[in-house]
Amino acid sequence: MEDAEAAARVRPAPYGSISEWIKINPMQTGFYRVRYPDDELALLRAPISNRVLPPADRLGLQNDAFALTRAGHTPATEFLSIAQAYTNETDASVCADLAANLGSVDTLLWNEPFYPAFQGFVRGVFRPIGDRIGWGPRPNEGHLDVLLRSTVLYQLGESGDEATLTEAAARFREYAQDPSNVRADIRGVVSSLAARRGDRSTYDRIWELRNEASLEEEKGRLLIAICHFEQREITQETLDRSLSNRVRVHEAITVIASVASTRQGRDMAWEFLKSNWDELDRRYGEGGFGLMRLVSIVSGFTTEEQREDVERFFTEHPVPSADRTVRQALERIRLNAAWLDRNRSEVAEWLAADRG
C-alpha cells in the first residue's frame, strides 16, 4: 500500500490518482492495448470530456476500446459508451480517428432495424463539436482547425443531420454558380453532402463542374461526390459511366469503390463488378493492384449468404494477382458476421435506452 501511495504522489497530475481515475500507457508510448474494468473505464469519461487528458491519450482510449470490441474481447457498447465522452473534442487527429472507428461500426449496422438510432447517436456525439467550429473560418485558425471542421461536418452529414445537409445544399448552389464562392477546404464536404439529397439537376451539374475544373484535385473531389447520390437509378448510371469514356481508365476503380462505400451502393457495386468482370479483368488484371482494390469492396458484407456468394464467384473467376485479397475479404466478412452475432441485441438495447 505504501508503494502504491508513493507511486500516486509522483505520478504526473494528468494521469489521475488511485482514489479517482488512472490512465494506463501515458501518451500511448507503449505498443499494446489496454482493457479497463467497466468501472475504471467509466471513470475515464470525465477527463476525456473536460480534456484533462492530452490528445494522445484521448485518441488512445477510444482507439483501444474500438480495437478490443472489433477483436471480440469486449462488447461494442463499451466502445460506444466511451465515444459519448468526446462531445467537447477539439483535436483534429482525435476526432478523425473517432470518426473512422464509428464509421466502421456504421457500415456493420447498415441493414439493422436500429440503424437510425445509431445515426442519432453519432449525431449526438458530433453536433456539439460542429456547433462550435461552424462552417466558416475563425480568427487565428490553424490548418488543424480546418481539418477538424471538414471531419465533423462530413460526419454530421453522413449521419443524416438535417441542418448540416441543408447548409451543404445551400452552399453547393453558391458553388455551382461560381466555385470561388466556397472555400477550397470545404468543397469536398459541400459537394458530397449536397449529392446525398441531390436530384438529377444536381447530378448533371456536378458532372459539368468536373468537366469545367482545371485542377485535378477539384476533379477528384467532384468525382467522389458523384458517387454519393442516394437514388438507385442515379447510382446505377454512375456505375455504368465508370466504364465509359466519361471516366478515365484509372478513375473507374475509384468510382466503383466509392459507390461501394455507401449504404445504397454497396450491393449495387458488387452486382456491377460481377456483371462486368471480363472487362474489369481485361483492364486491370495484369497489374494486380487495381483488382485488389475492386475485390476489397466486398469486405463490408455482413452475412454468411454474402460470403458464400463472394467465394462462389471468385472460385469460378480465379484472380491469381489478388488471391490473398480474396481470402482476406472472405475472412473479414466472416468476422463481420460474428461481430454482429455477438453485439446485435446488446447494441439495439443500449441505443434504445440511450435514445429514450
- Which amino acid, residue 141? E
What's the domain count of the chain?
A: 2
Q: Do residue 172 and residue 212 come from a single domain?
A: yes
Q: Do residue 261 and residue 220 come from a single domain?
A: no
Residue pair 45/84 in contact (Cβ under 8 Å)? The answer is yes
Residue 51 has pLDDT above 50, yes or no: yes
Residue 54 lies in a domain: no
The CA distance from 102 to 119, in Å, is 10
Residue 340 lies in a domain: yes
Q: Do residue 264 and residue 335 come from a single domain?
A: yes
Q: Name the burial class of residue 356, with classes exposed (0-12), middle (13-18) and buried (19+) by CB atoms within 10 angstroms of its CB.
A: exposed
Residue-wise pLDDT tens digits, 66-125: 999 999 999 999 999 999 999 999 999 999 999 999 999 999 999 999 999 999 999 999
Grid cell 453547393 in the structure block, residue:
172
| Domain housing 210 | 161-230
CA 157 to the chain's CA centroid: 12
Give percent of the chain with pLDDT exceeding 70: 94
Residue pair 203/223 in contact (Cβ under 8 Å)? The answer is no
Residue-wise pLDDT tens digits, 314-335: 999 999 989 999 999 999 999 9
Residue-wise pLDDT tens digits, 197-236: 999 999 999 999 999 999 999 999 999 999 999 999 999 9
Using DSSP's 3-state secondary structure scheme, residue 178 falls into coil
Residue 82 lies in a domain: no
The contacts of residue 90 (CB under 8 Å, 6+ apart) are 51, 129, 148
Residue-wise pLDDT tens digits, 236-248: 999 999 999 999 9
For residue 11 the three cell numbers come to 505520478
The CA distance from 268 to 272, in Å, is 6
The CA distance from 208 to 201, in Å, is 11
Q: What is the mean pLDDT of residues 295-309?
A: 97
Residue 353 has pLDDT above 80, yes or no: yes
* pLDDT attached to residue 50: 96
Mean residue pLDDT of the chain comes to 93
* pLDDT attached to residue 139: 87
For 243, other C-beta atoms within 10 Å of its C-beta total 17
Length of the chain measured in residues = 356
Q: Do residue 287 and residue 333 come from a single domain?
A: yes
- Which amino acid, residue 326? V
* pLDDT attached to residue 246: 94
* pLDDT attached to residue 124: 97
Residue 85 lies in a domain: no
Q: Do residue 166 and residue 222 come from a single domain?
A: yes
For 67, other C-beta atoms within 10 Å of its C-beta total 15
For 352, other C-beta atoms within 10 Å of its C-beta total 11
Residue pair 214/199 in contact (Cβ under 8 Å)? The answer is no
pTM of the model: 0.92
* pLDDT attached to residue 340: 98
Grid cell 459511366 in the structure block, residue:
241
2 — pLDDT class (breaks 50, 70, 90)? very low
Residue 332 lies in a domain: yes
Residue pair 122/159 in contact (Cβ under 8 Å)? The answer is yes
Q: What is the H or E stretch that residue 354 is in?
A: helix 323-355
6 — pLDDT class (breaks 50, 70, 90)? very low
Q: What angle do CA 60, 64, 67 make, to 5 degrees?
A: 140
